[in-house]
A and B are shown apart, each in its own frame.
Chain A
Amino acid sequence: MSAAQWRRAMNTQLPRAQVSVVTQAPDRSATSFPGYIPTQDLFNQNKSWLSRAWSIIRIRHSLVLLGLFIYPLIASPFFTYQIAAQSMALGLIALSLTFLGGYGGMVSLSQMTVAGVSGYLIAIFGTSSMTAISLGWPWWLAVIFSILIAIVFATLVGWLSIRTEGIHTIMITLAIGVAFFYLTQQNYVLFNGFQGFSKIGAPTVGDVDFKDPNAFYFLSVGCALLSYWSVKYLVRAPFGMALQGIRDNPRRMNSLGFNITAHRLAAHAFAGLLASVGGILLIWYNNRISPGSINTGALINILVIAVLGGMKHPIGAFIGAITFVLLQNFAIDLVDRQRFNLVIGSVFLLIVFFSPDGLLGLWQKLRVRWASSGRDERIQGSRRA
């Protein structure tokens, strides 16, 4: 339950009829107190899941969904493909970092590496320009296996890094990522070295060719929405709550009987799933993969995206990704393209310095300021009345 919902629940008067009629007790009970909402109703558990869902959906959700739906109809194919679809793919990978870092307390710089692993496996298992290496399996088989192996890889990385914390985790995951980068650059038997693989396209399923910008856009938006909802659900489920507890105070959670290691490993595996899906989308988007896609700069870019948007809420990853992709594509039109790194670095620096929660944090601060000025007006108004 979000803070806004809690406040709303506490500040509105519910009609008596909604109070639970389990007891016909006289009015002297606590249930008669105005504003009191029995625990059951707080979570609406005696209603069906459909009505529960209906009460959660707000206007903004439907507006956003509508906007996403009609976007390709009004935007040019370039914007649909290069801007929107790419943001969704990058946002997915950044979402895995937000999940691990924001909710799990383990900032891992190797999410892009996991994405790279699944991307390379798609190239190796599927069809690509290097017919000597690619196995030519059907796309769905390649996707299943690459996601599974990427999850295993992510869990292994997690196993290595959960023994550490804070800055150590960052350094270790960075080193693992760089090691994998050098491995793919130097190995020609499996990874084809510096050139990598090209001509890896999205498949054609039935009548739909996913190489088409609109179809690919809907695919990536679909994956992004699914992962966003699953992360939102997971963090309020018992697993997510336990994970946040472990983030805040591992020792206490341990004494309560939770298996810290298992929870953390599971978190890494789930983040690995997200990152591998993002990696597959990215390789289908680029039609190629090479060591340059997973070098140090790319690893740090994912961190920049996640922090830019804000690590406190899953939507931050996508906001950061959209901002980053827009800057990347249009900086050349505004500023000298050579200084792109300076622009993105300064933006990142300013945001981390002044608003550690990224763009979302800035937005929250502004909201509070508007809300407090609104509340002052209402108080003034009610005083006058």
Chain B
Amino acid sequence: MKRSELAFWWLLVLPLVLLSLWGLDEDATLFLKTTLNGLTLAALYFIVASGFTLVFGLMRNVNLAHGSLFLIGAYVGWIVGEYTGSWLLAVLAGFIAAAIIGVLIQIIVFRRMQGEDLRQTLVTIGLSIVLADLMLWYFGGEIYTFDPPAWIYGTTSLPIIEKFPTYRLIVLCISIVIGLGLWTVLTRTRIGMMIRAGVDDRGMLSASGVNVQRIFALTFALGAGLAGLAGVVGGTALSISPGEDTRYLLASLVVVIVGGMGSVPGAAIGALLIGLAEQFGQAYAPTYSVVFTFVIMIIALAFRPRGVLGKAI
């Protein structure tokens, strides 16, 4: 690392370290609780954003209907959960429903407009407006909550912090599993190799006898399915209502911009930054906490337009 870059990192990290020490000294319980809250919120954001970065980074497909996929997965998962009484089935149903709709979107929309970034953006924006209103029509404006098993939904006792919601720790574990799983699939399996090859050189991959369309459809299904899964998981933590789609879409956008497009580790870093910033903002400076997220994004862009781990396209 160059000396100037090193200096920059020290300039950034030192105040944070000092502030953290002050926070610990002032009220250790609050500080640790906020840190853990931030980590768990980051976990949720990571699950949503990983699907988005997968689709955009690898396939250069701009899918601004990602938030709607989140909400569709949540609602379908809720219906299945009510019907069968099982939360795990709800999670699975959310994943599958969003994946199916994702593949449909890929076939109908993205295949025709490969390369036309702006047009994809506009069509998916229109799609998200229409889907959001359809869901509002069908499900109404009330909020829906899930009914997970009692052992997930209780309280755990931790040192110093005393009581912490068990469910948030579960979300943290789920996201770590998903992150590792994605990374393994992409870097260690044949399918992952094919996906990465297809992005670099479609023609060559097709010439080697691989059905490129099927691979891309699979990738899109995976990305969309992750959004649906996040819908059920997030909906259990924070309930579902109209407007959640825009909120999580904006969150994924910010996470992916800060972390870098197309990079799963980048999404993790971005999610960590944003999740921690949001929670610390809410705990220590609640009035402007919502603005912090975007200010971080603006600062990140000013110094690293490609994101922290972004690759030059």
In the complex, is A directly touching B at CB under 8 Å?
A: yes
Q: How many residues belonging to B are interface residues under a CB distance threshold of 8 Å?
A: 36
Closest to A186 in B: B287
The answer to whether B133 touches A182 (Cβ under 8 A) is no
Which of B123, B257, B290 sits near A353, CB closer than 8 Å? Answer: B123
The one of A307, A338, A344 that contacts B122, using a Cβ cutoff of 8 Å: A307
Whose C-beta in chain B lies nearest to the C-beta of A171?
B253
Among residues 250 to 267 in chain B, which have CB atoms less than 8 Å away from a CB atom of chain A? 250, 253-254, 257, 261
- Residues in B whose Cβ lies below 8 Å from that of A339: 133, 137
Q: Which of A178-211 contact B (CB under 8 A)?
A: 178-179, 182-183, 186-187
In the assembled complex, the Cα of A187 lies from the Cα of B288 at a distance in Å of 8
Contact A160 B127 (CB under 8 A): no
Q: What's the dominant secondary structure at chain A's contact region?
A: helix
Known contacts A167-B117, A179-B295, A186-B287, A174 near B253 by CB under 8 Å: yes
Chain A residues near B288 (CB-CB < 8 A):
183, 186-187
Shortest CB distance B165–A (Å):
26
A303 at the binding interface (Cβ < 8 Å): yes
Interface residues of B in 110-143 (CB under 8 A from A): 117-123, 125-127, 129-130, 132-134, 137
Is B302 an interface position by the 8 A CB rule? yes
* Alpha-carbon gap, A38 to B12, bound state (A): 65
CA of A233 to CA of B30, assembled, Å: 61
Decide: A179 and B298 in contact? CB cutoff 8 A: yes
Smallest Cβ distance from A222 to chain B, in angstroms? Answer: 31
Confirm or deny: A107 has a beta carbon within 8 angstroms of a beta carbon on chain B.
yes
- Cβ-neighbour of A345 out of B126, B287, B291 (below 8 A): B126
User: Is B62's beta carbon under 8 Å from chain A?
Assistant: yes
B294 adjacent to A176 (CB under 8 Å): yes
Q: Please tell me if the beta carbons of A296 and B134 are within 8 angstroms of each other in the complex.
A: no
A356: contacting residue among B119, B132, B134, CB under 8 A: B119
Q: Is the CB of B130 within 8 A of A349?
A: yes
- Chain A residues near B246: list those with CB within 8 A: 296
B-side interface residues toward A, CB under 8 Å?
56, 62, 117-123, 125-127, 129-130, 132-134, 137, 246, 250, 253-254, 257, 261, 287-288, 290-291, 293-295, 297-298, 301-302, 305
Chain A residues proximal to chain B, CB less than 8 Å = 101, 107, 160, 163-164, 166-168, 170-172, 174-176, 178-179, 182-183, 186-187, 296, 300, 303, 307, 338-339, 341-342, 344-346, 348-349, 352-353, 356
A-B contact pairs, 29 of them (CB 8 A): A101-B118, A164-B301, A166-B118, A167-B62, A167-B121, A168-B257, A168-B305, A170-B118, A170-B121, A172-B257, A175-B253, A175-B294, A175-B297, A176-B294, A182-B291, A182-B294, A183-B288, A186-B287, A296-B246, A303-B122, A307-B122, A341-B129, A345-B126, A345-B130, A345-B133, A348-B129, A349-B130, A352-B123, A353-B126
Instruction: Give the top 7 A-B pairs by smallest Cβ distance, nearest first.
Output: A179-B294, A345-B129, A349-B126, A163-B305, A345-B130, A342-B133, A341-B133
